[in-house]
Structure 1
Amino acid sequence: MAENQEGASSEGNPAADMYPKKILEYMEGFLISKTVFSSCELGVFDVLLAAERPLSAEEISQAIGASLDGTERLLAACAGLQLLNTHRDNGPVCYSNTEQASVYLTRSSPVSLYQSIQYSSRTIYLCWHYLTDAVREGRNQYEKAFGVSSNDLFQALYRSDEEMLKFMQLMNSIWNICGKDVVTAFDLSPFKIICDLGGCSGALAKQCTSAYPECTVTIFDLPKVVCTSREHFVTEANQRITFHEGDFFKDPLPEADLYILARILHDWTDERCIELLTRVYNACKPGGAVLLVEALLHEGGSGPVTVQLYSLNMLVQTEGKERTAAQYAALLTAAGFSGTQHRLTGKIYDAVLGHKET
């Protein structure tokens, strides 16, 4: 009798033989993130790049000033994540960087993601601790994460000079990798005078002047951002890039043929987006255009999952959200722009172009 009951129980529970592999991977995803974050913070990949030969765990632990036991575990995990190569000769296991680690995880690389990783670890990760609260409340979590009011979004985002520089370094690293793709998604050569609103570190402006030798770019941003960009990112030798200080919601915008808003509109509500785009439309020369650079959701919001996660990040960090191409087109139309098109780049960020009729 008991045997029959056991068999019936097994048949009535089809999940009994299932293994929740994907769910377990998702549960442990943060372990991978923090392994990468800590390895960069400790300088593991920099030490291996400088050594120019495989190093043992003991050599690496001494170089980064960490315990041997902790270093051995960290290196083993990095090797398992295919960020490090292992070398087993007669002596102890030695480690070297994979090609991707050398290119993207070392501080000295021109396309390094090191600063982006530091911002993810020390700012975004802390905000995500309060994701449950963000979902319940429908607002960002700067007050809980950092003890600062978010009534002025960029006062919270740039809550210290150090934090502002970290954010600018994040943007710089992103556009060093993705910038060329978004500024060449459309042929922008007809537009000679370009204004990059919220141009931050100037990395996207540099991509524009490289792709279109006849254009000039004005970076429009807050005074303290402009000051930091001049000090750390854009040299005076680059005469095709100039600066204009101001708040794009309050101050007059420079007249231009093309305005670029890269990772700007996803910070704001639809109402604020239309307000800003209307200001851009009024300043734009007839026959000019606006280029939006954003991570686009599929129509209906069904993916990509990366962009869906970015939209959650907008919830914990900003007032905005990620949108579909059609939703951005609707915002542009509401502001007066027409003939909207979009292009997918195959990378993180895509491009949407709206025109002002002559």
Structure 2
Amino acid sequence: MVYEDDGIDHRQHVYRLIMAAWGSQAIRALADCSIAEHLKTEALTAQQIAERERVDASMLYRLLRVGVSMGLLNHDTDSGTFLSTAMLQMLHEDAPDSLKHYAKAAIGPAFWLPAVRTPQAIATGRNQAVEALGTSVFDYFGQHPEEARVFTAAMTDLSTPVIREAVSAIDVENASYAIDVGGADGTFVSELLERHPELTGAVLDLPHVIPSVVDNAKRRGISHRMAGIGGDFLESVPSADIYLLKFVLHDWDDRTCITLLGNIRRAMNPSARLFIVEMVHGYDVAALDTALMDMAMLFSNTGKERDVSEFESLLSEAGLCPVTVRPLRGSYHVIEATADQGD
């Protein structure tokens, strides 16, 4: 096959895509060294930052130089100082749309090590978490509490803007109690409770996650209205009027999803509703985001990103009926479902 000359250096383009792996690790290191925080209000040299962080100055200088090449930093060669950019501030812990924890978790050991085994995942048809980590990703986090804390914070970083859009689309009429199933620190349900003071709610998640739920409720001043429930949603789910499922189904294979959804169906109070927030596969401007997230599921978990028809099939198998599918930012959607009255 002969390709037309389109003026693009394809070899250089593919080379940079390959080397992007090292770039992502540089971003992780910038987040880990709190570079955005150090440079928030002043320009500093590598030596000054190294002294504050207690790291090697020469190594840090090389990292900062990569940050400049990637557009995350500016460098004043006359003074030898580094300056922040708007992009770098996305790695600041207090930024409204912060990605600091996500940068540390998404390419940390729990996902990076299985990712190295992507060819084996393709060859065998199964994720490589056990081969790379010795256990499943979620059990790994149970054994590594600090990484689990960062992962929980990462999910909050990633999902907060999406959650705020989703909450505005949720009708809580006639509801009094909501459960965030697998909700990490409970950002989804806490945003819902803050918008609707008449509601109370809880987060159902693994026991090691519950302390972060308690901390979140205290920080928001809603401890009297929001609780943490340690448990396994694949075994049982408490009764509620509203169920929230955010970034959960994509972690699991179809059969496990049906088990979870079936548990919710059986526990539902009369007129209860389920709200699912997930990426939805399609051919829109965010298709690459969805496809890359699907790769993460491929090598680390048993799940995948799905299209609308696949979500509808899961709901039907579990005795649930989709009511509406509303687009949010990017490829995210909120899917509302109720109990199928005919089952």
**Deviation of 1:18 (Å):** 5.7
| Number of the residue aligned with 1:40 | 31
State TM-score, norm by structure 2. Answer: 0.87
Equivalent pairs counted in the alignment come to 336
Question: Does 2:289 match 1:306?
Answer: yes
**Deviation of 1:202 (Å):** 1.3
Question: Does 2:14 match 1:29?
Answer: no
> Secondary structure of 1:244's match?
strand
| Number of the residue aligned with 1:207 | 191
Question: Does 2:100 match 1:114?
Answer: yes
| Distance (whole Å) between structure 2 residues aligned to residue 149 and residue 234 of structure 1 | 31
| Number of the residue aligned with 1:291 | 275
Give 2:101's aligned amino acid. Q
Given the superposition, is the C-alpha separation of residues 130 and 208 from structure 1 closer, same or farther in structure 2, using an over 3 Å criterion? same
Q: 1:136 aligns with which of 123, 127, 134?
A: 123
What stretches of structure 1 of length at least 5 have no aligned partner?
A: 1-11
> Secondary structure of 1:99's match?
coil
> Secondary structure of 1:233's match?
helix
Question: Does 2:45 match 1:56?
Answer: yes
| Number of the residue aligned with 1:317 | 300
RMSD (CA atoms): 2.8
> Contact conserved, 2:319 with 2:340, CA < 8 A, in 1?
no
> Secondary structure of 2:153's match?
helix
> Contact conserved, 1:180 with 1:211, CA < 8 A, in 2?
no
| Distance (whole Å) between structure 2 residues aligned to residue 302 and residue 81 of structure 1 | 23
| Number of the residue aligned with 2:225 | 240
**Deviation of 1:214 (Å):** 2.3
**Deviation of 1:249 (Å):** 1.6
| Structure 1 segment 64-143 matched on structure 2, within 5 A | 64-87=53-76, 91-102=78-89, 104-109=90-95, 111-122=97-108, 123-143=110-130
Given the superposition, is the C-alpha separation of residues 84 and 224 from structure 1 closer, same or farther in structure 2, using an over 3 Å criterion? same
> Contact conserved, 1:194 with 1:218, CA < 8 A, in 2?
yes
Q: Deviations over 1:143-198 (max 9, x none)?
A: 3322x233xx6324423333332322222222333321222234345533211111
> Secondary structure of 2:143's match?
coil
> Contact conserved, 2:141 with 2:148, CA < 8 A, in 1?
yes
> Contact conserved, 1:182 with 1:349, CA < 8 A, in 2?
no
| Number of the residue aligned with 2:240 | 256
Q: Deviations over 1:199-237 (max 9, x none)?
A: 22111121111232322222112233224532x433294
| Distance (whole Å) between structure 2 residues aligned to residue 331 and residue 130 of structure 1 | 29
Give 1:184's aligned amino acid. S
| Number of the residue aligned with 1:162 | 146
**Deviation of 1:109 (Å):** 4.4
What stretches of structure 2 of length at least 5 have no aligned partner?
A: none
Give 1:77's aligned amino acid. V
Identity percentage of aligned residues: 23
**Deviation of 1:302 (Å):** 10
Given the superposition, is the C-alpha separation of residues 14 and 335 from structure 1 closer, same or farther in structure 2, using an over 3 Å criterion? closer
Give 1:82's aligned amino acid. G
> Secondary structure of 1:321's match?
coil
**Deviation of 1:241 (Å):** 0.9
Given the superposition, is the C-alpha separation of residues 308 and 53 from structure 1 closer, same or farther in structure 2, using an over 3 Å criterion? same
| Distance (whole Å) between structure 2 residues aligned to residue 240 and residue 257 of structure 1 | 15
Given the superposition, is the C-alpha separation of residues 18 and 208 from structure 1 closer, same or farther in structure 2, using an over 3 Å criterion? closer
**Deviation of 1:16 (Å):** 11
> Contact conserved, 2:258 with 2:314, CA < 8 A, in 1?
yes
> Contact conserved, 1:178 with 1:348, CA < 8 A, in 2?
no
| Distance (whole Å) between structure 1 residues aligned to residue 245 and residue 87 of structure 2 | 30
Give 1:28's aligned amino acid. M
Q: 2:313 aligns with which of 330, 337, 345?
A: 330
Greater Cα offset, 232-241 or 136-145: 232-241
> Contact conserved, 2:315 with 2:322, CA < 8 A, in 1?
no
**Deviation of 1:353 (Å):** 0.9
